[in-house]
Amino acid sequence: MKHIVITAGGTSEAIDGVRRIGNTSTGSLAACIYEALSEHLAAHKSGAFTVHYVVSETAARPEIKENLPVTFYPVTDVKSVEAVLEQLLTGYKADYVIHAMAVSDFTKGYLAGREALAEELSETLEEALSRDRGGMSGEKLRALVRGVLERPACRLDGPSKVRSAEDLMLSLVRTPKLIEKIKQWSPGSFLVGFKLLKGVDEEALVRVAAGLSEKSGCDLVLANDMDRIGADRHEGLLLKGRRVVGSYGTKKEIAAGIAGHMLGGSDAGGETGGGQ
């Protein structure tokens, strides 16, 4: 039995009890890839496979095919994805990982009223100035400002709904890059990564995607650009290291290309397309 882990949809991070910050990922490309894998396996009869499908609450789910059983793992935020992936990748021998999920790059650091934050900054500096009559060094000033902005005392805590009576400042801190942990958890897995940019030319897209490939140890990277994704169109380049091995125009073509290059066989497609 071979194990395929697929991550799908977009995570979202809680800001308070009712508000969340998330992205516009729908999970439909991952669902297409599942279907393409099933079709590929049906055509090539390559033994028994099972899919572990890690999926955000709002994402589209694929229609389940008889030849490719699926277990769903519902997730919400980055922390929940990390927990499920660590468990799956250290618990099973995952032969393939298709990490199509748009994982939030940022999570909430703190939320504070903008006026309250201005007041705390001012008070902190005033106090320091009144102590240092001789004048405060630039270095000390910077350290004070940085300290307050990193973790102000006036931050609002708790899971309730924040009142909407004043303007706010939301600090956003970086989340761990889960894709960089996948090969650490499971060095033997074949890893397919995804890079989505917006409004860049093809050269830049390939360069950034090749960077992801190198940094995270991806065996394949699908590179795409928001501006070249529409209702009926989804352009994408498939990279093996720095080399473009496929160029596609729809989700279905991308999915078939990934299935072919990942599982082998002759229907990888796209090799004679443009943009290579």
CA distance 112 to 241: 44
CA-to-CA separations, 261 to 96, 190, 194, 269, in angstroms, rounded = 12, 11, 15, 9
> Is 118 a residue that touches a second copy (CB under 8 A)?
yes
Q: 3-class SS at 212?
A: helix
- Which range binds a second copy by CB under 8 A, 21-29, 43-51, 211-219, 249-257? 21-29
- Which range binds a second copy by CB under 8 A, 27-35, 43-51, 162-170, 238-246? 162-170
> Is 149 a residue that touches a second copy (CB under 8 A)?
yes
> Is 22 a residue that touches a second copy (CB under 8 A)?
yes
Starting from the edge strand earliest in sequence, which strands make up the sheet with 49-56, in order? 70-75, 49-56, 2-8, 94-99, 190-197, 220-225, 236-240, 243-248
CA distance 157 to 53: 34
> Is 242 a residue that touches a second copy (CB under 8 A)?
no
Q: Give the contact letters, 191-220, x = binds to a second copy (CB under 8 A), - = no.
A: -----xxxx---------------------
> Is 153 a residue that touches a second copy (CB under 8 A)?
no
Element (H, E) at 197: strand 190-197
> Is 229 a residue that touches a second copy (CB under 8 A)?
no
Among 71, 90, 119, 207, binds a second copy (CB under 8 A): 119
> Is 145 a residue that touches a second copy (CB under 8 A)?
yes
**Considering the complex, what minimum distance in angstroms separates the CB of residue 142 from a second copy?**
4
**Considering the complex, what minimum distance in angstroms separates the CB of residue 111 from a second copy?**
8
The interaxial angle of helices 178-185 and 78-91, nearest 10 deg, is 20
